[in-house]
């Protein structure tokens, strides 16, 4: 009698928890943004060559390929360039309360930031809508100092 092999296809559970990484990140642009938030300021970096304002600021301009470090303050108000209405989490579980995740072009910035948009009825949100940051009562100098955005 031939040896009985196992089923052709089996599922084996193994976790892919590779290791703990000590990521090195460029803290300058993110720190600039976070530090400014303590004073309810939104700070990015402007390219001195092409004028592009990035928020958060990168250490170099991706178009001009030169180092950049000129600080630029942008407004805490802007325009919704796109938005998503979250009705389930990433595992597919329905959310009790829908959330609106917006992509917002702050006045004076050439790049977009993400933030929650709070409205009574998400059907009211539209592209091009003007919004304003609602700050936490006592900003700490964290990215979470902007609690959400609301329509102007």
Partner 1 sequence: MERKVAVVGYAMTRQASDIGVPRPIMLFELVKGLFDQMGITRDDIDTFVLCSNDFQCGRTISNVFEDTPVGAYMKDETKVEADGVMAVMYGAIRIMSGLYDTALVVGNSLGGSEFRPYLIMDYQLHPAYDRQLGILNEPVTAALQAKAYMEKYKITEDHLNKIAARLLRNAAKNPFALRGKEDATPEYIASSEYLYEPLRELHCYPFTDGACAVVLASDKRAKALTDKPVWIKGFGDSIEGYFLGDRDLSWSRSAKVAADRAYRMAGISNPAKEIDVAEISIKFASQEPIICEALGLFPEGSGAEVADRGLAEIGGEMPVCPSGGGLGAYPFSAMGLIRVAECAKQINGEAGDIQVKDVKTAVAHGQDGFCAQHNAVMVLSSEEG
Q: Could you list the residues that contact partner 1 (CB under 8 A)?
A: 10, 12, 14, 16, 18-26, 58-60, 62-63, 65-67
Q: Is residue 146 close enough to count as binding Zn ion by CB under 5 A? A: no
**What's CA 78's distance to the chain center, in Å?**
15
Q: Which residues of 10-48 are buried (b: 16+ CB within 10 A; e: fewer)?
A: eeeeeeeeeeeeeeeeeeebeebbbebbeeeebbbbbbe
Q: Find which of Zn ion, partner 1, none residue 126 binds, CB within 5 to 8 Å per kind.
A: none
Nearer to partner 1, 9 or 93 (CB): 9
- How many C-beta atoms lie closer than 10 Å to residue 126's C-beta? 9
Nearer to partner 1, 4 or 13 (CB): 13
Please give the Cα distance from 1 to 134 (Å, whole number). 76
**In the window 42-61, what residues touch Zn ion (CB under 5 A)?**
47, 49-50, 61
Nearer to partner 1, 68 or 146 (CB): 68
Q: Minimum distance between the CB of residue 71 and Zn ion, rounded to whole angstroms?
A: 15
Output the six-digit token pair for 72. 């630029």
Q: Minimum distance between the CB of residue 56 and partner 1, rounded to whole angstroms?
A: 13
* Contact indicator for 116, 144 with CB cutoff of 8 Å: no
Residues at the contact surface with Zn ion, assessed by CB under 5 A: 47, 49-50, 61, 63-64
């Amino acid at each position: 009698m031939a040896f009985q092999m196992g089923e052709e296809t089996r599922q084996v559970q193994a976790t892919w928890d590779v290791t703990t990484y000590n990521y090195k990140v460029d803290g300058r642009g993110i720190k600039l943004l976070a530090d400014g938030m303590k004073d309810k300021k939104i700070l990015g970096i402007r390219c001195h060559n092409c004028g592009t304002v990035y928020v958060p600021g990168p250490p170099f301009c991706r178009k001009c390929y030169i180092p950049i470090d000129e600080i630029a303050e942008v407004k805490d108000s802007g325009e919704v360039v796109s938005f998503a209405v979250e009705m389930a989490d990433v595992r597919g579980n329905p959310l009790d309360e829908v959330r609106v995740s917006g992509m917002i072009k702050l006045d004076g910035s050439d790049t977009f930031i993400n933030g929650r948009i709070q409205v009574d009825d998400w059907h009211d949100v539209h592209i091009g809508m003007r919004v304003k940051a609602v700050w936490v009562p006592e900003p700490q100098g964290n990215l979470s100092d902007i609690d959400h955005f609301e329509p102007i």
